[in-house]
């Protein structure tokens, strides 16, 4: 029987913060006690925050390790291990690795091919070997404006730990790219398109949406059910779009672009997730609604690190300061994402819960992770 005692800590519990300690035994939280006493053999946390491990639902971080420079491919096993270690170092104990499904293979320029099935196999194999430090699930980003979504999604099944399927509609003039000039900046910067090539890209994407959009949307919804995964919407902009998401059975909304959409999500019982970088930077890099505005309006439920893993902890602490409620801020990166994805065994400090726990020193508005346990293992 393995046992770890953490004492003299500032415990971030569901709905409250108090001085006390935890006993971790055989991968679970076995006991929670109050007061500053130091039992024999306990780790003295010296007043540091002790909270549940962070849960990340949408991260592009693995892509950065696999392609550290444009057109530079890194060996996948090494990239996955480095990604896993980076997340552990910033307090993330559960991650849903985002993988695109749906490719465009017929264009002369700007093609992107299939990769998700092969990369998922590598992640799952490393997990089975016990190489990875934290808990990994899959998040399939279903690209509606693509040519191969049906075939790619058919290659996954209930045994693949697919926890989330998100509906990704990047039709020019809609959602994230409602302002086509923002799309021009992104696409031309990435692919070096001329104006004529950009206009061809816009026309091609719109034609794909017209031809295959309804089929792809229905396929993604059905496949999520087959996998046993939670369905997420992405970049909802208007109340009618949210109504469609609700009709599909969406459980949470990733990065709604307007306050109108966020409020509509709450009206439909859909949790709202925003990017931690948006909160820390003071606004969206693509000109959409600010996460802080949604927090102040009471319609922000979950944070995601998106493209900066270290942002998750800092943003949760910032929300705690903004709301005057540390437990509420921390819940946006622990209990709320756990609830949104049906992970009933984690996301809170409670007797019987999985011992995914982090010790954090507060450094101004940010936090430094001093220790991390995954299922009780440091």
For the stretch 183-193, pLDDT in tens is 666 666 566 67
Give Cβ neighbours of residue 264 (< 8 Å, ≥ 6 apart): 236, 238, 239, 242, 243
Judgement on whether residues 36 and 97 belong to the same structural domain of the protein: no
Judgement on whether residues 81 and 144 belong to the same structural domain of the protein: yes
Judgement on whether residues 10 and 119 belong to the same structural domain of the protein: no
Judge residue 216's burial from the number of C-beta atoms within 10 Å of its C-beta, 0-12 exposed, 13-18 middle, 19 or more buried: buried
Listing DSSP states for 140-189 in one string gives: EEEESSSSSHHHHHHT--GGG-EEEEEEE---TTSGGGSSHHHHHHHHHH
SS3 74: coil
Kindly indicate the confidence band of residue 108, based on its pLDDT and cuts at 50, 70 and 90: low
Judgement on whether residues 83 and 110 belong to the same structural domain of the protein: yes
- What pLDDT sits at residue 105? 83
Judgement on whether residues 212 and 359 belong to the same structural domain of the protein: no
Phi, psi of 337 (to 5 degrees): -65, -30
Number of domains in the chain: 2
Global pTM value: 0.93
- What pLDDT sits at residue 192? 67
Gap between the Cα atoms of 27 and 25, Å rounded: 6
Which segment, 21-35, 63-77, 272-286, is predicted with the most confidence on average? 21-35
Gap between the Cα atoms of 122 and 79, Å rounded: 11
Strand segments (E) across 60-114: 92-101
Judgement on whether residues 306 and 371 belong to the same structural domain of the protein: no
Judgement on whether residues 195 and 134 belong to the same structural domain of the protein: yes
Gap between the Cα atoms of 137 and 131, Å rounded: 15
- What pLDDT sits at residue 181? 62
Judgement on whether residues 355 and 301 belong to the same structural domain of the protein: no
Give Cβ neighbours of residue 364 (< 8 Å, ≥ 6 apart): none
The answer to whether residue 286 scores a pLDDT higher than 90 is no
CATH number at residue 318: 3.20.20.140
Q: Give whole-number Cα distances, 100 to 114, 124, 167, 306, in Å.
A: 8, 16, 11, 14
Judgement on whether residues 76 and 36 belong to the same structural domain of the protein: no
CATH number at residue 15: 2.30.40.10
Judgement on whether residues 12 and 100 belong to the same structural domain of the protein: no
- What pLDDT sits at residue 196? 72
Judgement on whether residues 14 and 141 belong to the same structural domain of the protein: no
Judgement on whether residues 157 and 42 belong to the same structural domain of the protein: no
Q: Tens digits of per-residue pLDDT, 33-86?
A: 999 999 999 999 999 999 999 999 999 999 999 999 988 999 999 999 999 999
The answer to whether residue 175 scores a pLDDT higher than 70 is no
How high is the mean pLDDT of the chain? 93
Name the residue range of residue 365's domain.
1-52+348-378
């Amino acid at each position: 029987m393995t046992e770890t005692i953490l004492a003299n800590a500032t415990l971030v519990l569901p709905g409250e913060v108090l001085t006390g300690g935890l006993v971790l035994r055989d991968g679970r939280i076995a006991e929670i006690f109050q007061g500053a006493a130091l039992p024999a053999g306990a780790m003295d946390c010296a007043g540091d925050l002790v909270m549940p491990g962070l849960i990340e639902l949408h991260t592009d971080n693995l892509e950065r390790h696999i392609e550290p420079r444009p057109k530079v491919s890194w060996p996948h096993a090494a990239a996955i291990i480095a990604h896993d270690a980076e997340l552990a170092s910033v307090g993330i104990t559960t991650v849903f690795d985002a993988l695109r499904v749906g490719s465009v293979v017929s264009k002369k320029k700007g093609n992107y091919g299939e990769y998700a099935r092969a990369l998922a196999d590598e992640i799952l194999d490393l997990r089975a070997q016990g190489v990875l430090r934290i808990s990994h699930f899959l998040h399939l980003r279903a690209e509606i404006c693509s040519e191969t979504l049906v075939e790619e999604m058919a290659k996954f099944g209930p045994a693949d730990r697919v926890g989330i399927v998100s509906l990704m509609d990047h039709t020019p003039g809609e959602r994230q790219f409602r302002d086509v000039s923002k799309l021009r900046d992104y696409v031309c910067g990435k692919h070096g398109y001329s104006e004529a090539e950009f206009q061809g890209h816009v026309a091609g994407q719109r034609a794909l949406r017209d031809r295959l959009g309804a089929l792809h949307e229905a396929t993604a919804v059905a496949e999520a059910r087959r996998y046993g995964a939670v369905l997420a919407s992405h970049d909802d902009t208007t109340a009618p779009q949210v109504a469609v998401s609700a009709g599909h059975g969406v459980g949470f909304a990733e990065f709604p672009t307007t306050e109108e959409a966020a409020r509509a999500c709450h009206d439909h019982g859909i949790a709202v997730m925003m990017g931690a970088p948006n909160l820390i930077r003071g606004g969206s890099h693509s000109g959409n609604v600010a996460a802080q505005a949604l927090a102040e309006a009471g319609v922000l439920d979950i944070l995601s690190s998106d493209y900066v893993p270290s942002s998750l902890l800092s943003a949760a602490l910032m929300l705690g300061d903004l709301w005057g409620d540390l437990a509420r801020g921390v819940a946006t990166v622990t209990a709320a994402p756990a609830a949104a994805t049906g992970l009933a065994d984690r996301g809170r400090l409670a007797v019987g819960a999985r011992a995914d726990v982090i010790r954090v020193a507060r450094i101004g508005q940010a936090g430094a992770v001093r220790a991390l346990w995954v299922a009780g293992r440091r």
